[in-house]
Amino acid sequence: MFKLLIVDDEIEFSPIALLRHKFKEIEIYVAESGDEAVAKIPQIQPNLVITDWNMSNGDGSTVVRFCLDNKINPIIYTGGYEPEMASFKVPVLSKIEPNKLAHVIKTYFEEWKRRGKNGRENIQTVNCGRCRAVSDNA
């Protein structure tokens, strides 16, 4: 089963939380800090991690570094933009509406299925004419 980890210190206010009911074929896990995410990732072994950037107790850069070191697909989800984000060369979704975010998750999930569900295969770029945000920084 495809596993998604959402990392956000304000999950109750996150648009991502609104999406939890949309995905019946995806197991969704939550971590409320970067440190918690780094502790959970080895146990969960997610296929995709969507992380907020500005958090206490381990920020988004902590999560992204850990994901990249462990060949896990990270996406940065943020209300703003920090120059350091560009250095990671991973997708950055800034101020995106929940329905577009749902499309991005579904696109990753469909690509994972298309490739034969090969575990945590790193999907660097998902090409979709509708959601350029997925491939902008990959």
d(CA 49, CA 58): 15
Q: Where do the domains of the chain lie? A: 2-134
77-117: pLDDT as tens digits? 777 777 788 888 887 777 667 777 788 888 888 888 887 76
d(CA 29, CA 4): 6
- Band (pLDDT 50/70/90 cuts) for residue 31 is very high
* Separation of alpha carbons 21 and 56, rounded Å: 27
pLDDT at residue 67 in the model: 92
**Options 3.40.50.2300, 3.20.80.10, 3.40.1500.10, 3.40.50.720; CATH of 2-134:** 3.40.50.2300
In terms of pTM, does the model score above 0.85? no
Identity of the residue numbered 58:
G
The burial of 129, by beta-carbon neighbours within 10 Å (0-12 exposed, 13-18 middle, 19 or more buried), is given as: exposed
CA dihedral 31, 45, 66, 29 (to 10 degrees): -10
Res 132: pLDDT: 47
